[in-house]
Amino acid sequence: MCAIAGWYDSDIDLRDCSDILSAMSQAVERRGPDSSGMLIENPIALLHRRLAVIDVEGGLQPMTKSFGRKKCTIIYNGELYNTSELRSELQTKGMSFDTHSDTEVILAAYLYWGEYCISRFNGIFAFAVWDHRERTLFLARDRIGVKPLFYYRYEGGLVFASEIKAMLKNPLVPKKVGERGLMELFFLGPGRTPGQGVFEGIQELLPGEYAVYDGDRFVRKRYFRLNAHDHEEDAAGTVIKVRELLQDSIERQLVSDVPLFTFLSGGLDSSIISYVASEYNKRNGMKAIDTYSVDYVDNDRYFKKSLFQPTPDSEFIGTMSDAIQSCHHNVTIYNYDLFSALEQALEARDLPGMVDVDSSLLLFAREIKKDFTVGLSGECADELFGGYPWYHNPKILYEETFPWSRSLEIRRSIIKPGLLPDAEEYVQQKYLDTCHSASKLPTDSRLEARMREMFALNFYWFMQTLLDRKDRMTMYSGLEVRVPFCDYRIVDYAYNMPWKLKSLGGREKGIVRAAFRGLLPDSIIERKKSPYPKTHDPLYFELCKGRVSEILAQNTSPVCELLDQKGIKAIIEDPDNISSPWYGQLMRAPQILAYIIQLDYWFSKYQVSIV
């Protein structure tokens, strides 16, 4: 895993812009602390920061390679999980290799197949390839959108990077937010429209998209979409197929030249990954897998059972760790640290995010990084296999709105009356656009058609927010986290699985439970879905309340021009009187206040002006 950035300009001598280029590189140093590289060959400058995982000695970038009359240079962030197969195939076509890095395999594949190489990759990635002869820049992002790639176009030029902060070091990229960006922040945040970078003019390649730029034309193409087709296996065959796909994906992602760990919450998804990793280590004569969990000081004292969070993780982590005999580590976070890390979490994401859900992961990753660089996590199983309550409640299922933010009332209440009058219509149109774009079969029943829409909503919206969180918070500490459920083969299979199979036995993720029944402890198989743990200590709310009160009293922040103090004070005075959460099940009163804190810091830290 690494960071990439670049600048294409036909009119500027980029050799005279070393200060800007160095600043762009340094801005993402945390993603790649092991080494850095730069290529300047007008009209292109390519920058790379490296976190060494595969071929530590030989994978330096930018990497240049020739084949026939073609000569290309690549900068790459990610991991390729079918490296060995592709290398073997390319060798049969006359390609030779100087390293055993996946970087060289991707570059060789581009040299041989051109832009069509992208459909052959199984991995998580964002990369740029400069064709020295054709003078074209090729940009690509993985099918699922695990790795980020932002860009900003202007007359005669292009700036791109793994993270927005690197782009903002270039004076040609404005630090501005307009009405659309404000609607994203206040009415969709911490989610955002696919491809939307919130800052004026900043966009992001979509999951499964690539682009070609020649200094004049910028052509974007989709190479992967959710496509409907018939599901061929019966229930027994589907169970076997799900198990095979997951085992293969997990084992592919265990390949590394440095030690690995797994996250373990005691939930179904992380338990499956930890089990497969443990069995893999045993077969290969390796030491017991290291597993990590997170909790908060005094959470056992303040935990409150709810529909969304029925049980604490602590009851199940020990069961699973004992079953696989892992070397388990529990990281405990203090609420003062959780609160203090809100600013760092904002800097990691470059935008207001999932607040303490972000900052806790950032602190968690920082502790893990002391001993490990690479790990596996269970993100995205719920989106793909119907793990959330909104898949199972008919009332919520058919509502014409995003199910994780069903009401915009609380969002409207915290901004001044009359601001962003078209926001509700904006959000509704985003919802409808996604539903209408969902691929369906003529034979789909009303339920199956709706489940495809719900899948698309979760895949392109909620899941992307979680992937943003995982990438930014972990890479902020130079920790690489892989997500085996995001294998595109699993995504395609899950999209086309009939709901009666996906919810086998009337359970959320029923098919996944069936696939690993008998391999995991029964208590883990039967455990009801429980989300990422958050703090329940009232101290956290008090800390957020105090800071928001300071912001409002000082009334000097640009965000105060947008906020309605009356609405915010209503939340402070009666935090339990929120009919619908801000975002998902984890953002209620304390998190709304924390979001305001991050908004305030964002305007200040990034010197954002409103246009």
d(CA 88, CA 79): 17
Identify whether the C-beta of residue 505 lies closer than 8 Å to the C-beta of residue 398.
Answer: no
Token duo for residue 78: 């990610």
Query: Could you write out the DSSP letters of every residue in 257-324?
Result: SS-EEEE--SSHHHHHHHHHHHHHHHHTTPPPPEEEEEEETTHHHH----SS--S-THHHHHHHHHHH
DSSP 445: -
Does residue 52 come out as left (phi exceeding 0), alpha (psi in the -120 to 50 range) or beta?
beta
Strand pairing class (290-296; 327-333) = parallel
Of the residues 2, 17, 72, 486, only one is catalytic, namely 2
3-state SS string over 175-244?
CEECHHHHHHHHHHCCCCCCCECCCCCEEECCCCEEEEECCCCEEEEECCCCCCCCCCCCHHHHHHHHHH
The answer to whether 341 and 320 are in contact (CB under 8 A) is: no
Query: Among all chains, which residue has been given the structure tokens 């009939």?
Result: 498
Q: Take residue 54 and report the two structure tokens written for it.
A: 């595969």
What are phi and psi for residue 39, nearest 5 degrees?
-125, 125
Q: Three-class SS of residue 35?
A: strand
- Distance of alpha carbon 375 from its chain centroid, rounded? 15
Q: Is 544 a catalytic residue?
A: no
Question: Which parts of 417-495 are beta strand (E)?
Answer: 480-482
Q: Which residues are catalytic?
A: 2
